[in-house]
């Protein structure tokens, strides 16, 4: 099977007006969006199944495409691209906009044989090229001979419509049935049509036309014709000879295409022959009458076939003419054709005049396919609306009223079982449907496929038509031959508005097709989320199983469709129903690697221990298919305590979770981790909490020359072996060889003690989500005081105005050292603030970072206490004043310096800090409602 391009045509081409349509094909003008070139897009509807009567078979479409791909000739239409979607194959063809050749010639006042042969030679060239490719057109007639552009001086001929074309071996007989098989012989498909074209062009008459169909076919069979003076008085001898040589019964004696091109009438051998051709003229009076008569007959045939037995249907479907009664002509009366044409033109006055003149004519009689004029009017209205959207046609309902007043039956069914209501519903004509329902047309009659008009509307997605039929009281649960109700059809094709309408009119939600699929099954299988939600809103049965035991949830889990799974679980569907293989939805999701679906099912409470008929759990299936993440997840959920905690974390909440960031900065050993633990402690826990034994900091209390080295060097030596003899510049992260030491120092017991302290220190950035007792939830970021990590702090600290910042310093240090440490970290935070165009008085930022200063180790520094038990630091005022003078315009520094013992979790100083944090937190949350979204 040939695979065509799956690209979206509407993204590549701008689709314009309709140029023509048939039973299963519509031709529209289109423009390439990138190049601006104009083309003709032919939309061919594909047949759904072998038993279906709608659409064109894949074999016929591919045959036409393959033939067109071979053809590259100036007189043959060109195929540019082929695209395909679920319902159609789209051929992008050369735009042939000049109209039919015969219409062009009929407009001329005079036409010499020389001019006529110029056109005929182009036709011969095109046919000759086809035959060199071993291709026979089989449908060469006036309506398939077009002009590329009729406005140029010498218009170019284009042969179109290769629906009947076949590739054959000209050395062998090729027999197929085209036309009426009882009368047309196989050899008629040779070059005789060219003679007919020449004869009609020169004389304005058909050489074999008789008084009736039987006489015409007898003339064709006997090749009985004469050159009447009425038509051929001005025709040259060369032209008559050309026609005679082509209209020969025996195809072996008939002139070939090469002979035709070399005939003197086409290619004069001398001046006398050329002059004879130039002086002879075409009988334009007869030709114009013939062209008008032919056009009238063609339009009558197209309408009388009523879109079911049209020429397009016969040429594109695989139905033989033996099964169709209509090919070369109609057996219906000429009066019926005239009535049909008047209906198609919406000519009510003309229709009244015609019927008034024919008192013996019964307006209710059906044609050969048992279609009445009501069928035709319903179809004609649809055709008129499609062909000319810019000019509204309001008179067709008026024509229906006229036919109804003349007692035209409403519910007559044609050979395919269709009523006028079927035709109107299939073409989306809501006005006609509404009128037919208002005059009591039966909306429940089914056609040969047992489909009602509501099925047609549901298949094509005409919600207004479906609503009109439902309001008329049609049977909403009728089933077609496939066992599908309109609800099943609309659900599978994704028409949520029609599903809504059917649900409102109490369609049975539990109706199933022959495979046991409900509307919800079909919607989920086709990933129609809107339809599924609509069905769930109307409380369809979510646990109904098909013939394989699968519910809609099984299908959604197998496809990994999380939105539909969530919707079905929300409708209280059974999570652990097994299919006939013993597999639950969780088994299918695990087997197919749908991790998010597995998580949702576990959250909803699915049984992870359920086993299949083979004794396998969902965990086993995930393991066998190598879905490692699902396997690990299900393994952890076996423990009940983990499962409850997991479900609690995934359960959605309607409330915002205002978890903001709390960032702690300070040098090594200032007690950041201890402060955080104390802030988290409640009253009861603080009573039993032991104060951590503090390892003395040898950098402040040196006991040896080795110990007098800065602690930071030890940290670097632990992280970077071999770099012991380097000094570190603050924040520069540039290492320089020490000028005072030339050799590596030997490790000592003091060095080992420093290593122990280093092991307890925070590495890089410690991030945790925690709850501070009496304050609320925080995302705590503890930044290590080790200079090795500080090169990345500019990135991770970020300029976040919704975060709280605590800068810790040790009161054991001298005042100058305290001020230096504070200045270092405040400079770090200041550097994070981006320049702002809008600044307040004295250059203050509008949204500065909130910073609080915390002095630690007050107990070790012997800071005195007040009578109330709070620490009183004598340099608090001086320190705050100095810091605010330097950073007050760039940072929002708290007015209070918090002095405390970081290990005393229940002290008054700790409570004061908690209260301060709560105030800042409340202020930030009220100021910025996006805090929850920013939380980590």
Residues belonging to the active site: 139
Taken in order 454, 457, 458, 464, the sign of the CA dihedral is negative
Nearest to 778 by CA among 680, 662, 677: 662
Buried residues in 380-392 as b, exposed as e (16+ CB within 10 A): bbbbbbeeeeeee
> How deeply is 929 buried, as exposed, middle or buried, from its count of CB atoms within 10 A (0-12, 13-18, 19+)?
exposed
> How deeply is 416 buried, as exposed, middle or buried, from its count of CB atoms within 10 A (0-12, 13-18, 19+)?
middle
Other beta carbons less than 10 A from residue 405's beta carbon: 8
Contact call for residues 765 and 781 (beta carbons, < 8 A): yes
Residue 227 DSSP class? -
Alpha helices in 479-594 (DSSP H): 486-493, 496-504, 519-525, 529-537, 552-559, 562-570, 585-591
Nearest to 469 by CA among 503, 500, 430, 508: 430
Helix (H/G/I), strand (E/B), else coil: 502: helix
> How deeply is 481 buried, as exposed, middle or buried, from its count of CB atoms within 10 A (0-12, 13-18, 19+)?
middle
Can you tell me the distance from the alpha carbon of 22 to that of 458, in angstroms, rounded to the nearest whole number? 22
Nearest to 554 by CA among 520, 605, 505: 520
- End-to-end Cα spacing for the chain: 54
HSE (CB half, 13 Å, CA atoms) of 569? Answer: 23
- What are 229's two structure tokens? 């003076």
Q: Which residues contact 191 (CB under 8 A, 6 or more apart)?
A: 127, 246, 254, 255, 256, 257, 260
Contact call for residues 808 and 670 (beta carbons, < 8 A): yes
Left (φ > 0), alpha (ψ -120 to 50) or beta: where does 417 sit?
A: left
Contact call for residues 413 and 365 (beta carbons, < 8 A): no
Q: Which residues contact 873 (CB under 8 A, 6 or more apart)?
A: 811, 855, 858, 863, 879, 897, 899
Contact call for residues 809 and 667 (beta carbons, < 8 A): yes
Can you tell me the distance from the alpha carbon of 270 to that of 279, in angstroms, rounded to the nearest whole number? 15
Sheet holding 88-94, edge to edge: 13-21, 25-32, 38-45, 88-94, 79-84
Helix (H/G/I), strand (E/B), else coil: 556: helix
Backbone angles phi, psi at 651, to 5 degrees: -65, 125
H helix or E strand, kind and range, residue 914: helix 908-927
Helix (H/G/I), strand (E/B), else coil: 123: helix
Backbone angles phi, psi at 479, to 5 degrees: -115, 145
Other beta carbons less than 10 A from residue 884's beta carbon: 13
Can you tell me the distance from the alpha carbon of 820 to that of 631, in angstroms, rounded to the nearest whole number? 54
Report the binding-site residues.
46
Between strands 13-21 and 25-32, the pairing is: antiparallel
Report the binding-site residues for ATP.
46
H helix or E strand, kind and range, residue 433: helix 430-438
């Amino acid at each position: 099977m040939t695979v065509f391009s799956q690209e979206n045509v509407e993204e590549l081409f701008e689709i314009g007006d309709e140029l023509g349509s048939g039973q299963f094909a519509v031709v529209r003008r289109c423009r390439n969006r990138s190049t601006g070139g104009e083309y003709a897009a032919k939309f061919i509807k594909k047949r759904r199944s072998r038993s279906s009567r709608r659409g064109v078979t894949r074999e016929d479409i591919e045959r036409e495409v393959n033939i067109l791909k071979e053809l590259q000739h100036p007189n043959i239409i060109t195929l540019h691209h082929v695209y395909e979607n679920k319902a159609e194959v789209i051929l992008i063809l050369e735009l042939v906009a000049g109209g039919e050749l015969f219409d062009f010639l009929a407009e001329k006042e005079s036409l010499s044989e020389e001019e006529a042969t110029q056109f005929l030679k182009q036709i011969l060239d095109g046919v000759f090229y086809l035959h060199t490719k071993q291709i026979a057109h089989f449908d060469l007639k006036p309506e398939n001979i077009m002009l590329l552009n009729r406005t140029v001086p010498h218009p170019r001929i284009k042969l179109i419509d290769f629906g009947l074309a076949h590739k054959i071996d000209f050395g062998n007989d090729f027999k197929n049935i085209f036309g009426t098989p009882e009368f047309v012989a196989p050899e008629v498909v040779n070059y005789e049509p060219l003679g007919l074209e020449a004869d009609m062009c020169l004389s304005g008459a058909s050489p074999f036309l008789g008084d009736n169909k039987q006489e015409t076919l007898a003339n064709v069979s006997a090749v009985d014709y004469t050159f009447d003076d009425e038509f051929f008085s001005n025709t040259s001898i060369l032209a008559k000879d050309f026609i005679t040589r082509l209209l020969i019964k025996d195809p072996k004696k008939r002139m070939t295409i090469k002979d035709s091109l070399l005939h003197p009438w086409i290619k004069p051998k001398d001046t006398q022959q050329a002059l004879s051709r130039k002086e002879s003229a075409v009988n334009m009076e007869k030709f114009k009458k013939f062209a008008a008569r032919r056009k009238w007959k063609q339009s009558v045939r197209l309408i009388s076939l009523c879109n079911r037995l049209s020429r397009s249907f016969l040429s594109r479907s695989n139905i033989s003419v033996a099964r169709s009664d209509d090919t070369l002509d109609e057996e219906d009366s000429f009066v019926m054709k005239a009535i049909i044409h008047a209906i198609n033109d919406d000519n009510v006055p003309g229709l009244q005049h015609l019927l008034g003149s024919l008192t013996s004519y019964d307006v209710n009689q059906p044609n050969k396919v048992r279609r009445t004029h009501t069928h035709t009017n319903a179809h004609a209205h649809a055709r008129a609306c499609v062909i000319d959207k810019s000019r509204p046609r309001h008179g067709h309902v008026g024509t229906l009223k006229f036919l109804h007043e003349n007692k035209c039956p409403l519910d007559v069914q044609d050979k395919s079982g269709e009523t006028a209501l079927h035709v109107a519903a299939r073409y989306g004509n809501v006005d006609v449907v509404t009128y037919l329902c208002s005059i009591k047309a039966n909306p429940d009659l089914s056609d040969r496929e047992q489909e009602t008009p509501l099925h047609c509307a549901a298949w094509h997605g005409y919600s207004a038509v479906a609503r009109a039929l439902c309001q008329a009281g049609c049977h909403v649960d009728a089933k077609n031959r496939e066992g599908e109700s309109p609800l099943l059809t609309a659900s599978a094709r994704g028409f949520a508005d029609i599903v809504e309408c059917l649900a409102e009119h109490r369609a049975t939600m539990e109706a199933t097709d022959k495979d046991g699929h409900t509307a919800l099954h079909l919607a989920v299988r086709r990933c129609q989320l809107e339809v599924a939600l609509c069905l769930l809103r109307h409380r369809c049965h979510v646990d109904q199983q098909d013939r394989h035991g699968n519910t809609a949830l099984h299908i959604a889990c197998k496809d990994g469709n999380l939105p539909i799974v969530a919707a079905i679980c929300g409708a209280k569907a059974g999570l652990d129903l097994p299919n006939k293989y013993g597999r639950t939805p969780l088994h299918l999701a695990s087997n197919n690697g749908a991790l998010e679906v597995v998580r949702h099912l576990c959250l909803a409470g699915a049984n992870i221990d359920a086993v299949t008929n083979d004794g396998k759990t969902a965990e086993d299936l995930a393991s066998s298919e190598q879905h490692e993440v699902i396997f690990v997840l299900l393994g952890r959920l076996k423990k009940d305590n983990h499962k409850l905690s997991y479900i609690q974390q995934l359960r959605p909440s309607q409330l915002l979770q205002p978890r903001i960031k709390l960032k702690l900065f300070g040098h090594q050993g200032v007690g950041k981790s201890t402060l955080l633990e104390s802030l988290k402690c409640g009253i009861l826990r603080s009573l039993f909490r032991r104060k951590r034994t503090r390892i003395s900091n040898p950098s402040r209390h040196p006991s040896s020359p080795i110990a007098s080295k800065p602690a930071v060097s030890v940290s670097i030596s632990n992280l970077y072996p071999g770099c012991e003899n380097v000094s570190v510049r603050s924040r520069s992260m540039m290492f320089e060889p020490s000028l005072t030491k030339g050799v590596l120092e030997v490790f000592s017991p003091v060095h080992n003690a420093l290593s122990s302290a280093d092991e307890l220190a925070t590495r890089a950035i410690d991030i945790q989500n925690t709850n501070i007792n009496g304050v609320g939830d925080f995302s705590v970021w503890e930044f290590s005081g080790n200079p090795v990590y500080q090169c990345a702090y500019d990135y991770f600290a970020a300029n976040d105005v919704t975060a709280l910042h605590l800068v810790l310093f040790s009161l054991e240090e001298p005042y100058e050292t305290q001020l230096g440490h504070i200045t270092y970290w405040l400079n770090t935070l200041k550097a994070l603030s981006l320049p702002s165009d809008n600044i307040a008085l004295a250059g203050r930022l509008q949204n500065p970072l909130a910073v609080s200063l915390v002095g630690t180790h007050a107990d070790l520094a012997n800071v005195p206490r007040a009578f109330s038990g709070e620490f009183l630091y004598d340099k608090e005022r001086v320190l705050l004043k100095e810091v605010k003078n330097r950073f007050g315009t760039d940072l929002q520094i708290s007015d209070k310096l918090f002095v405390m013992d970081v290990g005393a979790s229940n002290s008054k100083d700790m409570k004061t800090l908690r209260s301060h944090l709560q105030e800042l937190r409340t202020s930030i949350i009220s100021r910025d409602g996006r805090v929850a979204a920013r939380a980590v």
